[in-house]
Amino acid sequence: QVQLVESGGGLVQAGGSLRLSCAASGSIFSINAMAWYRQAPGKQREWVAVITRGGNTNYRYSVKGRFTISEDNAKNTVYLQMNSLKPEDTAVYYCNAAGAAGSNRSFNSWGQGTQVTVSS
């Protein structure tokens, strides 16, 4: 079983910055990709950014140039640096990780979410 714990959310004014962290622990053999999603009130969860084991990254168009996803492989941790935040970035942000848990088992785990609120 793989657990993900997010931290770093909070309240910030428009134009400000926040850095989210997500640490994975448990029966991890390898991680293929880690990603961030978000869900605003009354809306569906949407993908924000992803980083693969090779270090390749991709971003949702609306956050490209403002958000940066990075990882610390030694710590099985992924980060999301969010700059120039906008009120429309307000949401609960969720971390997701997928990979191998050993013994030919795979995992796809979610964190509990962290609230990001951007005031105008």
pLDDT tens digits in sequence order for the chain, 120 residues long: 899 999 999 999 999 999 999 999 998 989 999 999 999 999 999 999 999 988 999 999 999 999 999 999 999 999 999 999 999 999 999 999 999 987 789 999 999 999 999 999
What is d(CA 114, CA 50) in angstroms, rounded to the nearest whole number?
Answer: 17
What pLDDT score was predicted for residue 82? 98
What pLDDT score was predicted for residue 103? 78
What pLDDT score was predicted for residue 104? 80
CA 72 to each of CA 14, 44, 62, 89, 104: distance values in angstroms, whole numbers, following the listed order: 28, 29, 25, 25, 24
